Structure 1
Amino acid sequence: MSSSNRREFLKSSTVAAAGLSLPYFFTGAKSIADEQKAESANDRPLIGCIGTGSRWDAVGPNAMKLGDVVAVCDVDADHAAKGRQRSEAENKKQGRERKVDVYEDYRKILDRNDIEIVTIVTPDHWHSKIAIEAMKAGKDVYCEKPLTLTIDEGKKICKVAKETGRVFQVGTQQRSEMGQLFLKAIALINEGRIGDIQKIHVAIGGAPTSGPIPIAEVPKQLNWEMWLGQAPLVDYRFKQGPGWGNSRCHYEFRWWYEYSGGKMTDWGAHHVDIAQWGLDQQGVGGPVSLEPIMAKFPTPYQDGMPTQDDRYNTPTEFHVKAMFPRDIEVAIRNECNDLGFDNGVMFEGTKGRFLVNRGKLVGAPVDEMKSNPLPEDAIQKVYKGMTPSGGNAHMVNFFECVKLRKDPISDVYSHHRAMTTCHLANIALRLDRTIKWDEKTEQIVGDEQANGWLSRQARKGYEVTA
């Protein structure tokens, strides 16, 4: 049997079995990760990596445990070369001498019929365009968070995902890993251990300031025009400093609204997601209003726009009061030191409260698990009937769902709902006024100016279309 036919056979036979009984990973059979280790090189899914910067150093190797990278792409030639070198070394380490092609233009990867899966690890403002085109090209997608730059982009991604039936995992690893602390937290809510949720406190950290950043020569290895993509064509800026220095590019793109959403989308994509996942367990819908309580920006703003273009512009401190149905408040802040934590999510219910972050799960309902443990299937219930496995659980879940043709634990639809809250919070902060949201129409109510911010005009040639 040819490798391509065998892959299709495995997919169809697994789906058929899932329709008749529990998924195979409940039967005691080997996991897909173990199964693929034992298969020959031609039987492993082929992967194209779009974006090979610092974050890819985690995403790429995790994907290579389950499939073979055959192509990498980056608009920074140094990043691309590093991606190629690491991919070929990993292929060799696993006994497969496989050449890895290098491209500057991501469309070269999407044009290849042999590539089945793509990882997208680019700056945020590139996620949606590449992801939509990848799905249309018949690829299954693993994309880093935050998935979108605007609410309109999220609507387009959801539309194309439904139309194409592609499997799409968003890189919100808290839903799978971190010692399963967040899964246990959601299971506690699902099992009624805190009663009805009354309030949620979310602390996601603040953003840095930069001061003036001078115009600088574009590095020779960087295609700056293509890096900018849909964003306005502007000068490259860089100032030497500790760590990465200060710039408009690479890691520091997070602190510019032109390319991202500051901490509100960078860490909000993690913790606001957990807050709304908890609300989902009790059938609570999306936000109905968002009120800016406090914000400190590193540059003056006028009509929601920064008045200086030579420095970071996302808020360094903030507090947004997001109201949800049943009069539930979700307070999104840079820190909650008055409550004893500066990063994490605190759920308050009618029966108690607990705090969860990447290092701990604490509170009376947690202590009570010693005498009243969660049911054996509690984690599986919140993990869509599947079982997270080990330190690479999020990527394993994606590859398992590729075979099963089902939505993974961090699907585009739940992520779009969480990012909608984050994007609305940013709009409220920038305009410095309360906005009201209609979840059914996905429109801001009674505010024409704010409604205009649900999308952005892309630079010609870089439009995001569904």
Structure 2
Amino acid sequence: MSHRESDRRQFLKKSAATAAAVSVPYFLTGQNAAAADEQKANESNDRPIVGCIGTGSRWHAVGPNAMQLGDVAAVCDVDANHAAGAKKKVTEIQSKKGSDRQVDVYEDYQKILDRKDIEIVTIVTTDHWHSKIAIEAMKAGKDVYCEKPLTLTIDEGKKICQVAKETGRVFQVGTQQRSEMGLRFLQAVALVRNGRIGEVQNIAVAIGGAPACNSIPVVDVPSGLNWEKWLGQAPLVDYRWAKNGNTVNTRCHYEFRWWYEYSGGKLTDWGAHHVDIAQWAIGQSEDGMGPRSIEPIYAKHPVDFKDGMPVQDDRYNTATQFHIKATFGDGVVMDIKDSHQDELGFDNGIMFMGTEGRFLVNRGKIVGAPVDALKENPLPENAIAEIYGGSMPARGNAHMANFFEAVKTRKLPISDVFTHHRALTTCHLSNIAIRLNRSLKWDPQTEQILGDDQANAMQSRDARKGYEVTV
């Protein structure tokens, strides 16, 4: 038996075992599924109590989604302006439902974790805060919904997986492509797993490039923002902000994505979505799975680097252009790029290519000959349900509904921390490779970079005193 055939058989066995392990009860599939779930929860008077940690721009989707299925008792943010806005929004939404629940506001997330009445927390902070809060939340007995990308480093992912196993808490990662987007991505996974493109040979993942900017001046910290606490584990630096036309450049809030100190640029921001789907489709997100080698074909950064660290601190520093080649144990090659162009043409999405065809999937479409062939040869009736753990996603608010159902049943949600960690490891390894400008060998079973001590050390970061991520 060849190594590729052995890996494929192992994948199929693991897929069957995983489907059984994550099987969850049937989700409503009618147009009013979310409303029906909410009505049922209201009638039984057992809606979980939720605390919201981090209430910036992304929370304005996550928070209301959680309020369809639970009641928010407290909000927390180191920016008082965000927190005040969140309280107002929660109060308005819940009062329309006839609730007069008091909504408390905190700057310190520990206040939420200390509350015995709060069962669930949503974490919608900057990336570099996710792991510390999530670990402490699980230890405090809370179930967790955390936005992606889950971690700042590979080491943080290992720690989250350890604590999730030790505590048995339910943990959903906010990779909504696993549940929503018109089910296109679930259909893509089903096409691959049902052999509709034969043996997968190559996957092109296009995720866009990060922006660059000119030098950003040091300015006073805005009123209401606790800048020292916002920085958390990252180095203590000056606050920078500038506006050029309609474009805001800053070290803070949304633009934190373009600083390696707080995130991983597009490789983790969008890689957390598309690399996740790609590895899920080919069975490379399970324990012991992942790439064997990472090769940086090219990368362009807006600043210079020394020993893998940016030497300028006054402008964005994540890669603006890149092409990384990740090779997996079964021989599949994944090309992770800022953009990809061929006769189908796309600049964001996933192209699956096999011995018997290829197709493209992104948030707007799923196209290609294997997709066209479904008209005459549809997928098996339960193909997508099997991918989704034995049931179809709810129509409307599916990802949050899957999480709340898992909280009730204590089953793994569809986007669990273990598979997310494996997919995000590929993204983190890609960043390490382009920052050091050299290829890496990775052992996915021991989760170690082979023969490169400097690169291996970059699996973790030194945290500022008082903000360490510990288990």
User: Normalized against structure 1, the TM-score is what?
Assistant: 0.93
**Aligned residues of 1:41 and 1:68 also touching (Cα < 8 A):** no
Q: How many residues align?
A: 447
For 1:142, the equivalent position in structure 2 comes to 145
For 1:155, the equivalent position in structure 2 comes to 158
1:322 aligned onto 2:326: yes
Shift of 1:37: 1.9
SS at match of 2:52: strand
For 1:179, the equivalent position in structure 2 comes to 182
Residue type at the aligned position of 2:230: W
Cα distance in 2, alignment partners of residues 196 and 94 from structure 1: 52
Cα distance in 2, alignment partners of residues 278 and 36 from structure 1: 32
1:158–1:337 CA distance, 2 compared to 1 (3 A) = same
Cα distance in 1, alignment partners of residues 369 and 184 from structure 2: 15
Cα distance in 1, alignment partners of residues 173 and 247 from structure 2: 26
**Aligned residues of 1:255 and 1:261 also touching (Cα < 8 A):** yes
SS at match of 2:282: helix
For 1:133, the equivalent position in structure 2 comes to 136
| 1:37 maps to which of 29, 36, 39 | 39
Greater CA drift, 239-248 or 387-396: 239-248
Residue type at the aligned position of 1:330: M
Cα distance in 2, alignment partners of residues 27 and 461 from structure 1: 47
For 1:213, the equivalent position in structure 2 comes to 216
Identical aligned residues as a percent:
69
Cα distance in 2, alignment partners of residues 32 and 301 from structure 1: 49
The aligned runs of 1:344-363 (5 Å cut-off) are 344-363=349-368
Shift of 1:36: 3.6
**Aligned residues of 1:33 and 1:66 also touching (Cα < 8 A):** no
Shift of 1:189: 1.1
CA offsets 1:287-343 (integer angstroms, 9 cap, x no match) = 001011111111111221111110000010000011111221100000002351100
Residue type at the aligned position of 1:391: G
For 2:116, the equivalent position in structure 1 comes to 113
1:376 aligned onto 2:381: yes
**Aligned residues of 1:289 and 1:324 also touching (Cα < 8 A):** yes
Shift of 1:42: 4.4
Cα distance in 1, alignment partners of residues 224 and 395 from structure 2: 37
SS at match of 2:203: strand
The aligned runs of 1:127-276 (5 Å cut-off) are 127-243=130-246, 245-276=248-279
1:122 aligned onto 2:125: yes
Shift of 1:95: 1.3
| 1:295 maps to which of 292, 296, 299 | 299
User: Normalized against structure 2, the TM-score is what?
Assistant: 0.92
The one of the two structures with greater contact order (alpha-carbon pairs below 8 A, sep at least 6) is 2
Shift of 1:285: 2.9
In structure 2, stretches of 5+ residues that fail to align are 1-19
Shift of 1:282: 11
**Aligned residues of 1:299 and 1:313 also touching (Cα < 8 A):** yes
In structure 1, stretches of 5+ residues that fail to align are 1-17
Residue type at the aligned position of 1:69: V
Q: What's the Cα RMSD here?
A: 2.0
Cα distance in 1, alignment partners of residues 143 and 426 from structure 2: 26
Cα distance in 2, alignment partners of residues 197 and 338 from structure 1: 18
